[in-house]
Amino acid sequence: MFPLVSQTPAHFSNSTAEICTASHGAQTYIAAFWPSVILLVLSTALMGLYTALVSFALTILIRRGSVHVQVMALLAVMLVMYASAAFHWGILLLSTTGYYELVQAYVSEALSVCGSASALSTTPMSYPSEPGFTYGLPGVVHGLTLCAPTGILTLNVLLGDAIVWWRAWIIWPRSLIVRGTCVVLLAVTTGAYTIDLTTQCILRTHIGESRLHPDWFLLQAGRLWCGCIGLIPIEQSRCHGHDWMQSMTHRYYREHRKMFEATTLERSSRIERLLVLLVESGTVYCLLWGFILAYQTSSFTDPALESRLEQQVLTGFDYFMKGCLIPLIGIYPTTIIVLVALNRSHFHGTVSTDKLVSDVVFRHQPDITNDEAASSLHTAAEVSSCGGRDGQLGADEDFSKGFIIADKDSDSLPSYLRGPDRARPLTTYTFP
């Protein structure tokens, strides 16, 4: 994504004219410096939120004191994703620092050799045939630093998708379809990311031009994804979110639709349930990857055919991709872990049993009027008068004979006992 530059540039030659000409490289580094500052600010904001969320999740898991294998595995995955995101933030910081140092070095050298700032503006713009814009860590280390963001993103996406499918595996423990889909999609995603990472870090190919600056192709040797190969892992990750969203939405609707219909919830409670559902069902995750897929395909279009508004939108999304995507990929599964730890998951308590939540749910009982109470007593008296032995229950009688099933719409029941239309028929006690 960005070269990690930390050393001052060397002279291209001992010629004063060539040094003055090469000093125009400062303009390229200045143009690259400000985008790197913006990316660092965006990444810092997301990392602050990510740090708070991870700290909160760690506090909850540690206070529970559980040493279960599943809990320890979640803890390890969460820490690995956070460490990789922090490493990416460190790369952005060092990259910004390196650009700043190079700008200072170029300007200082040019002013000392060329004599004045006016020489910089009068010297024709030209670049050497072999651009010397790879200053920084030498050799293999420098190459790995260039493709480190892609490697970090690959790791985080694979771990995030694994957590998403872990939730699906728990909620559908006996579903062969879920297991098969999980294994196939994760295997295809891993293979696609491996090819993409190898293409960028070993072959160091580059397709397309960054929107941050026209000369950015001189500075970067790798991108988050490369060409058509990069579309494969993006589409696979979108499929992960889409399949998870469908399965979770179906499960949620099947188990909780009657609870929503039969209970009167406060507006804030409904909004909270909706937000949790959007996160836990994978809707937000799926939308995120849909936008990323649309952005990636836009690199195959001709920039000359794009309007000014489209270019501004794509440029803004370019900043988002390079500065915010890696922390966001870690924030999403961490949020799911926090919801499960706080028992705020809609599926908490239903994953260990196949029994559904009870269907018998009543609305808030209304106030009973005097007429309804009198009608209830009158109905009970009529039923009692139809029984044997003057409506008296013997001590040795089988009490089970006293159960009858009253129709929910029966006029013999007062309104406060009829319940909602969705409830099961009510069971009442009567005299034999």
Model pLDDT for residues 54-76, shown as the tens digit of each residue:
998 888 877 776 667 777 787 88
Lowest-pLDDT range of 81-85, 347-351, 401-405, 412-416:
401-405
pLDDT value at 246 more than 80: no
Position 272 scores a pLDDT of 61
State how far the Cα of 360 lies from the Cα of 383, in Å rounded to an integer.
26
CA distances from 167 to 122, 287, 325 (A): 64, 19, 22
Position 287 scores a pLDDT of 78
Q: Is 405 helix (H, G, I), strand (E, B) or coil?
A: strand
Q: Answer yes or no: pTM beyond 0.85.
A: no
Position 384 scores a pLDDT of 47
Q: Which of the given ranges, 16-30, 67-81, 111-125, 405-419, has the highest pLDDT on average?
A: 67-81
pLDDT tens figures, 251-272: 544 444 544 444 445 555 666 6
Position 277 scores a pLDDT of 62
Q: Phi and psi (nearest 5°) for 394?
A: -75, 150
Position 336 scores a pLDDT of 76
Q: Which residues contact 175 (CB under 8 A, 6 or more apart)?
A: none
Sole residue written with tokens 């200082």: 108
Q: How far is CA 147 from the centre of its chain?
A: 23
Position 220 scores a pLDDT of 37
54 within 8 A of 157, measured Cβ to Cβ: no
Model confidence band, residue 398 (pLDDT cutoffs 50, 70, 90): very low
Position 199 scores a pLDDT of 66
What are the domain boundaries of the chain? 16-341, 370-429
pLDDT value at 115 more than 80: no
Position 40 scores a pLDDT of 87
Model confidence band, residue 402 (pLDDT cutoffs 50, 70, 90): very low
From the CB of residue 294, how many other CB atoms can be counted at a distance below 10 Å? Answer: 12
Position 31 scores a pLDDT of 66
382 versus 215: the higher-pLDDT residue is 382
Position 303 scores a pLDDT of 67
Position 363 scores a pLDDT of 38
Position 45 scores a pLDDT of 92
pLDDT value at 237 more than 60: no
Position 419 scores a pLDDT of 46
- Percent of the chain surpassing pLDDT 90: 4
Cα angle for residues 133, 136, 140 (degrees, 5° grid): 105
Q: Taking all residues of the chain, what is their mean pLDDT, rounded to a whole number?
A: 61
Q: Phi and psi (nearest 5°) for 429?
A: -95, 135
Q: How far is CA 314 from the centre of its chain?
A: 21
336 versus 378: the higher-pLDDT residue is 336
150 within 8 A of 200, measured Cβ to Cβ: yes
- Tell me the mean pLDDT in the region 288-307: 73
- Tell me the mean pLDDT in the region 14-43: 65
Model confidence band, residue 284 (pLDDT cutoffs 50, 70, 90): confident
25 versus 225: the higher-pLDDT residue is 25
pLDDT value at 48 more than 90: yes
- Tell me the mean pLDDT in the region 307-326: 81
